[in-house]
Amino acid sequence: MVKLLPGGRPRVRTGVPQPPPPPPSGRPTDDAARRLPVATSRWRPSAAGAAARLAVLTVILGSVLAAPLLLPAPLVLIAAKAVVFMLAALSMNVLMGYAGQVSLGHGAFVAVGAFASGYVLTIMQLPWAAAAVAAMSLGGLAAAVLGAVALRVRGLYLALVTLAYDLFVTFTVLNVRALTGGGAGQPAPRPAFATDDLAYVYLGLVIVALVWVFDWRLTASKAGRAIQALRDDERVAASWGIHVTRYKLLAFVISGTVAGLAGAYFAGIEQIVATADFGFTLSLTIVLMTVVGGLGSRPGVVQGAIVFAALPTLLETAHEQLAWWPRWLGSLWEPFVGALLLVLVLVFYPGGIAQQQAPLLRWLGWQRLHAPEHVALGGGGGGPGARP
Amino acid sequence: MARRPRWILRWLRGLLRGRAGAVAATAAALLVVAVLVRSGVNLVSTVSIGVQFGSVYALIALGVALVYTSTGVLNFAQGEFGTVPAFLAYVIMVGGVGDLGDIGAVPDPSRLWWASLMAVAAGALLGVLVNVAVVQRLGALSPVTALVATAGVALMLIQLEIIVFESQARNFPRYIGGEAFTVAGSAVEWHTLLVLAALAVTATLLAVLFRTRTGTALLATSQEPFAAQLHGVSVSAMSTLAWGTAGALGAVGGLLAGGVFEQVFPAMVTRDYLIPAFTGAVLGGITSMVGAVVGGLLLGLLVSSANSLNLALGLNIPGPPQVIVLAALLVVLLVRPHGLLGRAV
Amino acid sequence: MPAASSPPRATRHQPSWLRGLGVLAVLTSLLVACGQKPGVHVAAEPGVVAGGTGPGVGVVGGATGVPPAVTGGDLAGDLPTSDAATGAGGTGVDEATGGGADAVGAARQPAQPAQQPAEPAGQPAQQPQPPPAGGNAPRGRDRTGVSEGEIRIALHAPQTGAAPLPTKSFEQSRDLYWRWLTEQQGGEVLGRRKVVVTFADDKYQPSSASQVCRQLMEGHFLLLGGGGTDQIQACGRLASARNVPYLSAGVTEAGLQGLPWYFAASMSYRAQGRLLAQFVKRNFGDAKVAMIVTDTPNFDDAVQGWEAAVREVGINYYKTQKHPRGDTSWYATYGDDMASNGVQVLYVLSSPLDYIRFAQQNDDAGFRYVGVGITMGLNAVLANGCPQVHGGVFFSPFPGLDWARQHEPAFFQAAGTFGTPDDDLSLAMWGLAKQLHVMFERYRGVHGNELTREDFRAVVEQQRGLETGLFPTLNYSPQDHFGASTVHVLQANCDAGEHTTLATFVSGF
């Protein structure tokens, strides 16, 4: 008899984010949830090492901040698209990377957030902040519904349910005209303080930074470690006294909330949101970028998101400007290249981008460049110290 | 007087033992029929539409169940095992790759059977290829990783189709066109009967396969790979067999799906048939071949009933099929996770 | 389970520090790297100009004959030949006299001082144009896309995505008219020798359309919408918000009616509903009629216009049935419902793909299909839909190729010269460009060659009798930017593989 693996955990788990200094806590579940007690956590870099790390972090942060300025005006919104993808990937990472729950319907949460935002802005005429809050709440709610199902259904079956859920949302819910404006779409203006493209992109970067910090604190918290314990084995986690139902639902709600926020931001990019923007291709693309980036690693999935956001333009640019570039390899190939990346990553580099950068990310995370042997097994980076 | 009910109850209980799934399905079907009749739906046409779609669902579901049973992989690329061979048949019928830009090209129906043979062979080859090139290389396999990987393969194949055929629908012939007969004023098409017949033949062939030594070996491998290996069964040969057969099944499904609208278009089977097929497989019990057939057909009937009801009652719900697919999936997973005919895990 | 025996894979690829840094460096440079060039797929080929000519007026002269209607069984015989003098600047349908130059052409000449006498199409007109008569200096300031030597305009249309159109024609024929005019005919446009047309793929999605239109507005004087109701609506609204002139064939009025910068080059779906009801009543009498329409707010006005006309004309009507978007399981169910309720004539307003599949799935019901709009009358529908769509009658902003072969030979010559497709979509692009050319000529009559967006808009909305002989005659007013009142009537002919033109410039039945 073939059995489903409980929890359906992807083998590619990488980057077990280790809290460097374990926050003091008296609850035994904390110790239970914390995996691989790492001796290196007490290690501190020398003054020169700290300076070097700070310098590199500053350069990275600086180039991220400067990137939108360097883009020519028509392409600034690619950075905005990257913001949406980053948020979606971080959201997916909570579910797939931390909690080990696969979702093939993540596009549905983004869609719910986007249309919630459009509805609040256009029909209810409320300010943007209210729209963002509504998007997050409804995204979280939509995910909580799915999370409730996930309490009973696991692994592959859960993947199927998320897929059917995605279709249900895109075909049925998004076509309820009173809510979404039907096929014509719902206008969703930007907030008054960020109507300019560049301002909107920086608003997005601020949102990403906030979510990043939230995610970092989450992984360092008791709840975060409990969620990660679910990924490995729910029964073991339960035996450690972890409240499986509560933390699984929590993971879904957090993930859906962030995805809803991604949707609200997405709606403002073109200031119109239409049913045609969503579909299972979007959901799969979110899975793709998260896996390619490296499950469980914040820097990894964010980079994966940037790759997928930039890929069409990169292909287009290469196609038009590089003499040696194959003539046939235009932007039409972008979904193909993306899917190929996924398959290659799964076959050859299960840890994705994060695995490739593991030493670097560890170094940036205020640790040694080369980890002790038993830690290297995870392969992934994602040191929580890699600050935004 | 007091004893007779007890005797009947006992008899009924004995009859029902181990057949709860079948009974539940029958009851659900009767309920659906009752609702349909009450709302004045044309039953003949609803059933005939349901059978046409359901048979294609079932063919795809058979491939899904076969691969799942033998290798533990839920194959998202199963839909493209149907679309790609259908496109291949189209290319053969329009006489090669010379003029693929002509969206109005009319395939030569006289080459249909020959093209179908090639398509089924290509489907089998594609199945084996995906298994060898991707699935086998995933190493120690988590089912979800494999699902994501096959989804990647499906996306690649879909995009290739779009690149070659420009997301345009292409003409595709039916094996037999026209109406077979008319019942109560509603025509039943030959194509419906053909799809049903194809399903019956394939299911029978599969049943026979599982009775042979090879089939037994296949089942043994799926259940205890290590033990099977000890008994001299080649695990890799068995997985090749399963994927190849699934590819061929997918091709048959794709060729018949092309006939439904007399069109093939990129992502055709994945978009319109795969998710209902998955659901059908789960509904019937994903480890059961008979379950896949029953589940696929049942889902086809549910989908067409949902459309009919939506229309007859004037509900104007957008996307009734998607509602019914999600509902069916949830109900079966929450109430009877191993499906109507599957064995409890 | 399959053997879980292989060793943990992760250790095999022990990453090196340098490689990690390299990957990071590559990734962080991605955003910078994409900034090399705008993402819009620019494919403009400028044309060169000398001399000038009127806006193809010569073609208009003999442009009203109705070819004998030959197809589709009983329909062709009953076709109306309505009076020849309806509509302000336009004409009704002439008797089927076989075409040829007649007096109607003169009546349709717009009364503009700058107009040249009609010349036979296809003959180069080398004489330099007289200086423009109207010499008022323009008041506007926005000269985006206008320079000394060229005018840049842009076209958005679906090319990839789920677009049900043979979409390469948009891009390939985008500047055919202008190149023919400037390179072949030696014409000038507002004294300039080049009209550059940039094409952008809107992927058949409203948000993609908004994105490309936003980019196109930066460097182009005006936007043209090629097709797709939702996309045209999205871009039309965006254009009006940003004070950019926008021209497209008429689709929905929802969200576009009243926009100061939007101009429709043909009748809206709502307005066509009245003509269609008259057509149905006249040709099908008391046959039972129903409508199948995609469930989208952009078709609401079309449904209203049609239903009002149905009541007014007195049609034996079953119902208006909305169908879900993007789903493929409803065709047979809905068709059975229609057939069992005795429906014989069906007005289909949906994507062509839905129409084709519906017709295919309900082959045995024998519905007669009618409709409005742009895409249903495209010959590409026949490529996929024959034989089931045979005989379907659809209104169109541009005439069929059979009519154009007689009356617009310049299009075919130009397509042959420049090697572009000579299909109906290219003809539509040709007609739209011609319409725009007439507008530019009118503008020249008022403000000369100094072109600004503000003045262009102000001039165009005052114009009446904008004539091209292809698209309907336009009579704009500041209150109404849907200036057309005529349609062409096309009938699907599977034997010929294209639509047969049943009637041109019809304003009533």
pLDDT tens for residues B248-275?
999 999 999 999 888 899 989 998 899 9
Q: Tokens for A260?
A: 């809803």
Is residue A31 over pLDDT 70?
no
Model confidence over A98-131: pLDDT tens digits?
998 888 999 999 999 999 999 999 989 999 999 9
- Would you state the pLDDT for residue B334? 86
C31 contact residues in A (CB cutoff 8 A)? 67-68, 70-71, 78-79, 82, 306, 310
Model confidence over A77-87: pLDDT tens digits?
889 999 999 99
Q: Which of A83, A272, A277, A374 is the best substitution to test chain C (most C C-beta atoms within 10 A)?
A: A272
What's the whole-model pTM score? 0.80
Pick the more confident residue, B114 or C71.
B114
Q: How far is the C-alpha of B166 from the C-alpha of B265, rounded, in Å?
A: 9
- Would you state the pLDDT for residue A10? 39
Q: With contact defined as beta carbons under 8 Å apart, do A132 and A117 qualify?
A: yes
A171 contact residues in B (CB cutoff 8 A)? 318-319, 321-322
- Would you state the pLDDT for residue A42? 64
Q: Return the residue of A nearest to B141 by Cα.
A: A11
C207 contact residues in A (CB cutoff 8 A)? 185, 269-270, 272-274, 276-277
**Lowest mean pLDDT: which of B86-90, B204-208, C436-440?**
B204-208
HEC sequence for chain B: CCHHHHHHHHHHHHHHCCCHHHHHHHHHHHHHHHHHHHCCCCHHHHHHHHHHHHHHHHHHHHHHHHHHHHHCCCCHHHCHHHHHHHHHHHHHHCCCCCCCCCCCCCCCHHHHHHHHHHHHHHHHHHHHHHHHHCHHHHCCCCHHHHHHHHHHHHHHHHHHHHHHHCCCCEECCCCCCCEEEEECCEEEEHHHHHHHHHHHHHHHHHHHHHHCHHHHHHHHHHHCHHHHHHCCCCHHHHHHHHHHHHHHHHHHHHHHHHHHCCEECCCHHHHHHHHHHHHHHHHHCCCCHHHHHHHHHHHHHHHHHHHHHHHHCCCCCCCHHHHHHHHHHHHHHHHCCCCCCCCCC
Q: CB C230 to CB A73 under 8 A? A: no
B142 contact residues in A (CB cutoff 8 A)? 5, 8-11
Taking the Cβ of residue C329 and every Cβ of chain B, the question of whether any pair is shorter than 8 Å is answered with yes
Residue C502: its H or E element:
strand C498-506
Q: How far is the C-alpha of C252 from the C-alpha of C372, rounded, in Å?
A: 11
Q: CB C210 to CB A270 under 8 A? A: yes
Taking the Cβ of residue C328 and every Cβ of chain B, the question of whether any pair is shorter than 8 Å is answered with yes
Q: Which of A347, A348, A377 is the best substitution to test chain B (most B C-beta atoms within 10 A)?
A: A347
A12-26, A289-303, C161-175, C322-336 — which one is most confidently predicted on average? Answer: A289-303
H helix runs in chain A, sequence order: 28-33, 47-70, 76-92, 106-118, 128-150, 155-171, 177-180, 197-220, 222-232, 234-239, 244-270, 280-293, 298-321, 334-348, 352-356, 358-364, 373-376
Q: What is the mean pLDDT of chain A?
A: 81
B46 contact residues in C (CB cutoff 8 A)? 333
Is residue A274 over pLDDT 90?
no
Q: CB A336 to CB B160 under 8 A? A: yes
Pick the more confident residue, C9 or B76.
B76
| Shortest distance, CA A101 to any CA of chain B (angstroms) | 9
- Would you state the pLDDT for residue C46? 38
Q: Return the residue of A nearest to C217 by Cα.
A: A74
Q: What is the mean pLDDT of chain B?
A: 86
Q: What is the mean pLDDT of residues A241-267?
A: 93
H helix runs in C391-471, sequence order: 401-407, 409-418, 424-447, 453-460
B72 contact residues in C (CB cutoff 8 A)? 1-2
Is residue B1 over pLDDT 60?
no
Pick the more confident residue, B203 or B7.
B203
Chain B neighbors (3+ CB pairs < 8 Å) = A, C
Taking the Cβ of residue C384 and every Cβ of chain B, the question of whether any pair is shorter than 8 Å is answered with yes
Count of pairs with CB atoms under 8 A, one residue in A, one in B: 147
- Would you state the pLDDT for residue C15? 44
User: Kind of pairing, strands B186-189 and C498-506?
Assistant: unpaired
Chain-centre distance of CA C150, in angstroms?
Answer: 24
A303-312, A370-379, B308-317, C70-79 — which one is most confidently predicted on average? Answer: A303-312
Pick the more confident residue, B138 or A88.
A88
User: Kind of pairing, strands C194-201 and C150-157?
Assistant: parallel
- Percent share of chain A, pLDDT over 90: 33
A376 contact residues in C (CB cutoff 8 A)? 11, 14
C230 contact residues in A (CB cutoff 8 A)? 183-185, 274, 276
B186 contact residues in C (CB cutoff 8 A)? 336
Q: CB C295 to CB A273 under 8 A? A: no
Tens of pLDDT, residue by residue, chain C (509 residues): 344 444 444 444 444 555 555 555 555 444 444 444 443 343 433 333 333 333 333 323 333 333 333 333 333 334 443 333 333 333 333 333 333 333 333 333 343 443 344 444 444 444 444 444 455 777 888 889 999 889 999 999 888 766 566 567 888 899 999 999 999 888 889 989 899 999 998 888 888 888 889 889 988 999 999 888 888 998 998 899 899 999 998 888 888 888 999 999 999 999 999 999 999 999 998 899 999 998 888 888 999 999 999 999 999 999 999 887 777 888 888 898 898 889 999 999 988 888 988 998 888 888 999 999 788 888 888 888 888 899 999 999 999 999 999 999 999 999 999 999 888 889 999 999 999 999 999 999 999 888 999 999 999 999 999 998 899 999 999 989 998 999 999 999 999 889 999 999 988 88
> Which of C9, C364, C380 lies closest to B139 in CB terms?
C9
Number of Cβ within 10 Å of residue B194's Cβ equals 18
| Shortest distance, CA C15 to any CA of chain B (angstroms) | 19
Q: Return the residue of C nearest to B272 by Cα.
A: C328
Q: Tokens for C127?
A: 């004489």
> pLDDT band at A184, cuts 50/70/90?
low
User: Kind of pairing, strands C222-225 and C194-201?
Assistant: unpaired
HEC sequence for A316-339: HHHHHHCCCCCCCCCHHHHHHHHH
Helix-helix angle A128-150:A244-270, to 10 degrees: 140
Q: Tokens for C457?
A: 């808009």
Q: What is the mean pLDDT of residues A268-284?
A: 86
| Shortest distance, CA A91 to any CA of chain B (angstroms) | 17
| Shortest distance, CA C165 to any CA of chain A (angstroms) | 17
